[in-house]
Structure 1
Amino acid sequence: MNAKTVLPAVAMTAVSMVLTLAVVVMWLGTAMPWPVALVVGLGIDGGWLATLAYERRLAAQGDHSHGVTAVGWSFGLIATGVLVAHALTAEESTGAWLAVAWLPVAAKALWLVHGLWERTALTPSALGAIRGILQEARDEAAVARARLRADATTEETRLTAVTAAGARVARVQARTAATLAGAWSTLESARQGEDTGRALTSVTTPVTPGVTARWELPVWGPSDPVTTALDSAPALTDDALDTLVDQIRHSRTPPLSYREMATRFRTAGHSASEVRLRAAWKRVAERPATEATP
């Protein structure tokens, strides 16, 4: 990179010095002896070259002098002025001379660019370290992007699976609810039908003569909890149990069904197993109406 910036500056400086010397000799050679014109041209080029060498020495030491820089630009402007004046006074090829009149200023500008590059140039080891840091940063960014994409894909898959499972559960629940609704509708129709009671009564009459059974199908709805005190209730004998069952059964007209009687029996705090309670119910139900306890 050093050669890429310094070689153009050196080449343009050399061309500018040669043009300046040639123009001074041609322009002033008509008014004074050519050796004097040659000395004037060499003086301009020499001053320019000396200030340039001094600037380069200061730059190599990491220093800078505004005075030297101003003198160097002054020599460059003088050389440019000589070329412009010669182009304007030349009888022929005025445009061509004006086209090359900017070379001294361009040479100074190239040296300025080269100086700026030198002040910002880094060693190969520093450049290697910077490249390594940049590469590491790019690698970390690529890994982070890949991890984010993988996490997003995983989350999308999980959400898709959960959504699909939820949809399946909702469909199953909907089908189950529809089936239950149909079943309970059928039960309700059977419970409300007049023929259902007569059909069930005709079946139970030979088994329980003299007893009018009341058939109630389950009702779909909330149920009230039954508070019992089974642990503290005393054990009842068969006679006492029969008396209680008969009293509870005939506490309402028409007599209560077994289910209603059992519910009231346990709500009152009495204790008896389901087998004993059902046996008592059968014994009470089989009694003639005249023997029932009022």
Structure 2
Amino acid sequence: MNAKTVLPAVAMTAVSMVLTLAVVVMWLGTAVPWPVALVVGLGIDGGWLATLAYERRLAAQGDHNTAVTAVGWSFGLLATGVLVAHALTAEHSAGAWLAVAWLPIAAKALWLVHGLWERTALTPVALDAIRGIQQEARDEAAVARARLRADAATEETRLTAVTQAGARVARVQAKTAQTLARAWSTLETARAGEDTGRALTSVTTRVTPGVTPRWELPVWGPTEPVAALPWEAGPALTDEALDVLVDEIRTSETPALSYREMATRFRAAGHSASEVRLRAAWKRVA
């Protein structure tokens, strides 16, 4: 990079000095002896070169002098003025001389660019460190983007799985509720049927002579607790006496009482009998 900035400045400075010297010799050579014109041209170029060398020395030391810079630009403007004046007074090729009159100013501008580059130039080690830092930052950004995309995909998969599992649970619960509803409906229909007890009794042998087994199906819904009754608190009744009492209580009202109402009134009257015998008597008289 150093050669790319310093070589154009050196080349343009040399061309500018040669043009300035030639123009001064040609321009002043008609009015003064040519050695005098040569000295004037060399003075302009020498002053320019001296101030440029001093500026470069200060720049190498990391210093800067405004007066030296101003003198250097003055020599550049003087050389440009000489070229412009010669182009304006030339009888031939005035345009061509004007076209190269800007070279001294351009040479100073190139030296300015080179000085700016030197003040901002970095060593290869520093440049490698900067490139490493930039590459590390790009790698971290790429990893962070990949991690965010992966987290988003994982969260989407998790939400999808949770949603599907919830839907499956809801379907199973709905299906189970429907099955239970049908089962309880069937059970309620069987419990409320008039011939349910008779059908169950017909397929079962008697447990004891003269006693019919008790069949009670589950009841769907709330039930009222019944107070515990003493077991055979009074003297035991014979089956015939029990049948007579059950029939009297059952037919004491019209229409006939149900089994539960009959059993409640039977015990409220102070009679005692086991539930099995009382139900058997009910079935015999009913």
Moved more, 139-148 or 78-87: 139-148
Deviations 1:10-61 (A, max 9, x none): 1111111111111111112222222111111111111110000000000011
CA distance in structure 2 between the aligned counterparts of 1:40 and 1:104, rounded to whole angstroms: 17
Match of 2:69 in 1: 69
CA contact (8 A) 2:20 2:82 kept: yes
Unaligned regions of 5+ residues in structure 1, if any?
A: 262-278, 290-294
Cα deviation for residue 107 of structure 1 reads 0.7
Letter matched to residue 67 of structure 1: A
Cα deviation for residue 146 of structure 1 reads 2.5
- The DSSP-based 3-state class of the residue aligned with 1:101 is coil
**Cα distance 1:77–1:128, how it changes in 2: closer, same or farther (>3 A)?**
same
Match of 1:171 in 2: 171
Match of 2:277 in 1: 283
Letter matched to residue 239 of structure 1: E
Match of 1:239 in 2: 232
CA contact (8 A) 1:21 1:45 kept: yes
**Cα distance 1:204–1:11, how it changes in 2: closer, same or farther (>3 A)?**
closer
Match of 2:13 in 1: 13
Cα deviation for residue 161 of structure 1 reads 1.9
Instruction: Give the paired residue count.
Output: 252
**Cα distance 1:188–1:27, how it changes in 2: closer, same or farther (>3 A)?**
farther
- After TM superposition, the structure 1 = structure 2 runs for residues 94-173 of structure 1, keeping only pairs within 5 Å, are 94-173=94-173
Match of 1:254 in 2: 258
Identity score, percent? 72
CA contact (8 A) 1:210 1:288 kept: no
CA distance in structure 1 between the aligned counterparts of 2:93 and 2:169, rounded to whole angstroms: 97
CA contact (8 A) 2:23 2:83 kept: yes
Match of 1:203 in 2: 199
RMSD, aligned α-carbons:
3.9
Unaligned regions of 5+ residues in structure 2, if any?
A: 237-241, 250-256, 265-272
CA contact (8 A) 2:211 2:277 kept: no
- The DSSP-based 3-state class of the residue aligned with 1:239 is coil
Match of 2:29 in 1: 29
Letter matched to residue 90 of structure 2: A
Letter matched to residue 104 of structure 1: P
Letter matched to residue 218 of structure 1: V
